Amino acid sequence: MNNKYQLVKQKIEDLKSEIEYHNNLYYNEDKNEISDLEFDKKLSYLIELEKKYPEFKTSDSPSERVGGKITKKFETKNHKIPMLSLSNTYSESELFDFDKRMKKRLSNNDIEYTCEIKYDGVALSLIYENRKLKYALTRGDGKKGDNITTNVYTIRSIPLKLSSIAPSYMEIRGEVFISKSNFKKLNDYKKNSNEPLFANARNAASGSLKLQDSSEVAKRKLDCYIYSLNSKFESVKDHNEALKTLKNLNFNVPNSFKKCKNIEEVISYIKYWENKRENLDVETDGIVIKVNNFKQQEELGFTSKNPRWAIAYKYKSESAETTLKDITYQVGRTGAITPVAKLKPIKLSGSVIRKASLHNFNEIKRLDLRIGDTISIEKGGEIIPKITGVNIDKRSNISKSVKFITHCPSCNSPISKIKNEANYYCRNHKYCLPQIIGKVQHFIGKDAVNIEFLGPETIKGLIDNDLIKNIADLYKLKYHDLYDLKIEFKNSNDERKIRSLKEKSCRNIINSISQSKNSNYSNILFGLGIRYVGKSTAEVLSEHFNNIKKLIDAKYDEIIQINEIGDKIAKSICEFFKDNDNISIVSKLEKNGLKLYSKKKINIDSSIKNIKFVITGTFINYTRDELKNIIKINGGKISSSISKNTDFLILGKNFGPSKKSKAANLGIKIISENDFENLLLT
């Protein structure tokens, strides 16, 4: 390399270091040594040099922050450690109960907690390999998320490269958000451009992360607070130290976290921030409390949904009064009738509320709701609006009592209750429009056959134009059926508008329908929408009945014998397949190329053939889904619960103690990940 190139390379490296230095000062130390103009000049000069000498551009360059890459489709990747949600509490007494539970479960009752402000944003997992940002994933369903790395590069507070003190592999978790001040600027810009405004900062952040053009993401000025280190770090033994270590590695960790010696100090922390949090430039909705010591966290383990060692305290929701203008009724996929309160529009927690769900008629009676009432409304968990009461003092003499409807609001069929249920149902499931739309939406969902680009408005348009009557009809659709199809939709102001499907949308829909023919049998079975048959139940059924004919012909007594299948599910399956229309739909799906059977298993001579396993915890070399697949491929069986028929419990880290305890009581052998690998080799 000649001297000129050497000088250019050095200049690029110097500029990169300088820019990242000022980035770190701004985000982690709240300092400015140079003006924004000077910073932008340095960045522009770096971009100019990298364009001229692309051989010196690296993936961790600050120039990546400006975006420019287009992502047509975000790939899905598994989380090595599931991204679980936190259980919530709303009172001090529940916090004391949480503390008692922790002490009861732990062998050492000396517990410290770390408290952090709960920021209202979008959860993110960051993976670093060889100290460089490898990829970034959304929470997704907790087991797998979308790879949005290109867009995350544009978030300036996230380091693209770590210092040498970091291990070569790290997983970090944080919350992406738009600050209150930037959100206001963003909506001001949209207002001046006559564009619909964002409802709230969280929705704006979530939508921004999924934009296809990363240069557009860069304009949104997203930020990210880091709250968790999910990798081994030799010197770090507790969560408080982990946060300090992450801060030393130039991650944007807010200074508000605090170690508390007991639950009383936790409550003092909560009270301290109750009003002060309103002065922060970011939306918050509570406090996260975590058992500080990592060994104690490991001992406490997880439930299927939450870590046992953490809880979120939610501050009392913002509330307001408005007028109940009317009650309308929605019909769900199963025919359940849900009353919906139509309200005089009111702004609450950053968004305009026009309606709220009332769940069922019992709720209307409990609240003694009347049309024209002044009602109190709040956002449950800061997200879902709910009516909490009626201001009787403001009730007028002409307010009207609510009489629950007797007929379906869509098809006018009589409605009735199911025994032991609060809901009323429309039984006209074959011809009731909202039920048909709901069934199609369920069938095309990600956990079913995953047909993209078909929203509820498009589905309604297909039904209104007599192009489909049920899920099987989707496979008759041709390009010319879709082109220029008129779709009615509502804009952000609740006004009805019309748009037409054009070439790109039509091709996307047809291609996605074609790809869905490769869906797994269990996914299709789930997509049929049999009541009470969820994703995991569909997997159990597809394993036991390896083709749909066997399931159709199965009697109640045979179905109820299957582990994890209860009375309600067995009856529902039998009822579903008594209906000739359902049999006809299944037959049409098969004729259209959907594979309603399990792929033939190779008759292998495996040491774990017909051996039943239960898996709990997290593992080093596999995700839980990968481990399940290995067991299935080798002829083994999977169960989600321990019983006398279980042969082995595979125990990972962060396991739930109840399964271990039950296995020990039943004399079931408990093995590690390494033991399982050795078992495969025998």
Compute the distance between CA of residue 98 and CA of residue 453 in angstroms, rounded to an integer.
44
Residue 68: predicted pLDDT? 62
Which of 488-502, 554-568, 646-660 has the highest average model confidence (pLDDT)? 554-568
Pairing of strands 370-371, 400-401: antiparallel
Compute the distance between CA of residue 539 and CA of residue 282 in angstroms, rounded to an integer.
42
Asked if residue 158 lies in contact with residue 152, where contact means CB atoms within 8 angstroms, the answer is: yes
Token pair belonging to 121: 């944003």
Q: Is the dihedral of CA 314, 137, 245, 63 positive or negative?
A: negative
**DSSP letter, residue 375:** E
Domain 612-681 has CATH 3.90.199.10: no
Compute the distance between CA of residue 383 and CA of residue 140 in angstroms, rounded to an integer.
18
Q: 366 Cβ partners below 8 Å, 6+ apart? A: none
Token pair belonging to 621: 């070399």
Residue 382: predicted pLDDT? 46
Residue 397: predicted pLDDT? 84
Q: 272 Cβ partners below 8 Å, 6+ apart? A: none
Compute the distance between CA of residue 291 and CA of residue 309 in angstroms, rounded to an integer.
5
481 pLDDT more than 70: yes
Q: How far is CA 614 from the centre of its chain?
A: 25
Residue 492: predicted pLDDT? 58
Residue type (1 letter), 17: S
CATH number of 3-66: 1.10.287.610
pLDDT tens readout for residues 603-612: 556 778 888 8
Pick the CATH number of 78-314 from 3.40.50.1820, 2.50.20.10, 3.40.50.2000, 3.30.470.30: 3.30.470.30
Of the candidates 278, 89, 91, the residue with the CA atom closest to the CA atom of residue 180: 278
Token pair belonging to 477: 């659709």
Token pair belonging to 423: 């809901």
Inter-axis angle of helices 567-578 and 580-591, to 10 degrees? 80
**DSSP letter, residue 395:** -
Comparing 412 with 51, the larger pLDDT belongs to 412
Residue 175: predicted pLDDT? 96
278 pLDDT more than 90: no
Q: What is the mean pLDDT of residues 535-547?
A: 88
CB atoms within 10 A of CB 477: 17
Q: How far is CA 203 from the centre of its chain?
A: 13
CB atoms within 10 A of CB 528: 21
Tokens 């078909």 -> residue: 454
* Lowest-confidence pick of 154-158, 186-190, 287-291, 340-344: 186-190
Element (H, E) at 181: helix 180-192
Domain 433-518 matches domain 612-681 at the CATH topology level: no
652 pLDDT more than 90: no
Residue 637: predicted pLDDT? 84
Compute the distance between CA of residue 6 and CA of residue 158 in angstroms, rounded to an integer.
29
663 pLDDT more than 90: no
Asked if residue 199 lies in contact with residue 350, where contact means CB atoms within 8 angstroms, the answer is: yes
Asked if residue 293 lies in contact with residue 238, where contact means CB atoms within 8 angstroms, the answer is: yes
pLDDT tens readout for residues 47-66: 888 888 888 888 778 777 77
Burial class (CB in 10 A: 0-12, 13-18, 19+), 507: middle
31 pLDDT more than 80: no
Q: 648 Cβ partners below 8 Å, 6+ apart? A: 611, 612, 613, 614, 668, 669, 670, 671, 676, 679
pLDDT tens readout for residues 362-375: 889 889 999 999 99
Rg from Cα positions in the chain: 28
Secondary structure of 550-586 in the HEC alphabet? HHHHCCHHHHHCCCCCCHHHHHHHHHHHHCHHHHHHH
Which of 6-10, 418-422, 550-554 has the highest average model confidence (pLDDT)? 550-554
Q: Where are the domains of the chain?
A: 3-66, 78-314, 319-417, 433-518, 521-591, 612-681
Measure Cα distances from 666 to 9, 662, 669 in Å.
Answer: 66, 6, 9
Residue 605: predicted pLDDT? 60
Q: What is the mean pLDDT of residues 152-178?
A: 92
Report the C-alpha dihedral over residues 527, 82, 606, 519, rounded to 10 degrees. 20
Mean pLDDT over each residue of the chain, to the nearest integer:
87
3-state class of 70 per DSSP?
strand
The dihedrals phi and psi of 659, each to the nearest 5 degrees, come to -70, -40
CATH number of 319-417: 2.40.50.140
Of the candidates 513, 544, 539, 516, the residue with the CA atom closest to the CA atom of residue 526: 539
Residue type (1 letter), 275: N
Compute the distance between CA of residue 526 and CA of residue 530 in angstroms, rounded to an integer.
7
Report the C-alpha dihedral over residues 209, 214, 215, 221, rounded to 10 degrees. 30
Element (H, E) at 466: none
Asked if residue 427 lies in contact with residue 413, where contact means CB atoms within 8 angstroms, the answer is: yes
The dihedrals phi and psi of 487, each to the nearest 5 degrees, come to -120, 125
Asked if residue 39 lies in contact with residue 21, where contact means CB atoms within 8 angstroms, the answer is: no
Pick the CATH number of 521-591 from 2.30.31.70, 3.30.1330.60, 1.10.150.20, 1.20.58.760: 1.10.150.20
Which ranges of 199-338 does DSSP label H, i.e. alpha helix?
Answer: 201-209, 214-219, 239-248, 263-276, 294-300
Q: What percent of the chain has pLDDT over 70?
A: 94
Of the candidates 232, 194, 109, the residue with the CA atom closest to the CA atom of residue 653: 232
Q: What is the mean pLDDT of residues 375-399?
A: 80
Residue 491: predicted pLDDT? 66
Q: Which residues are catalytic?
A: 118
Beta bridge partners of 339: 329
Compute the distance between CA of residue 53 and CA of residue 266 in angstroms, rounded to an integer.
54
Fold of 433-518: DNA polymerase; domain 1 (1.10.150)
Compute the distance between CA of residue 414 and CA of residue 428 in angstroms, rounded to an integer.
9
**DSSP letter, residue 275:** H
Strands of 257-335 (E only): list them. 258-260, 284-291, 310-314, 319-331
Residue 28: predicted pLDDT? 62
Residue 381: predicted pLDDT? 46
Burial class (CB in 10 A: 0-12, 13-18, 19+), 162: buried
Asked if residue 387 lies in contact with residue 367, where contact means CB atoms within 8 angstroms, the answer is: yes
Asked if residue 163 lies in contact with residue 249, where contact means CB atoms within 8 angstroms, the answer is: yes
pLDDT tens readout for residues 89-148: 988 999 999 999 999 999 888 999 999 999 989 999 999 999 999 999 999 888 889 999
Residue 656: predicted pLDDT? 67
Measure Cα distances from 300 to 77, 254, 396, 505 in Å.
Answer: 28, 27, 55, 49
Pairing of strands 648-651, 144-146: unpaired
Q: 36 Cβ partners below 8 Å, 6+ apart? A: none
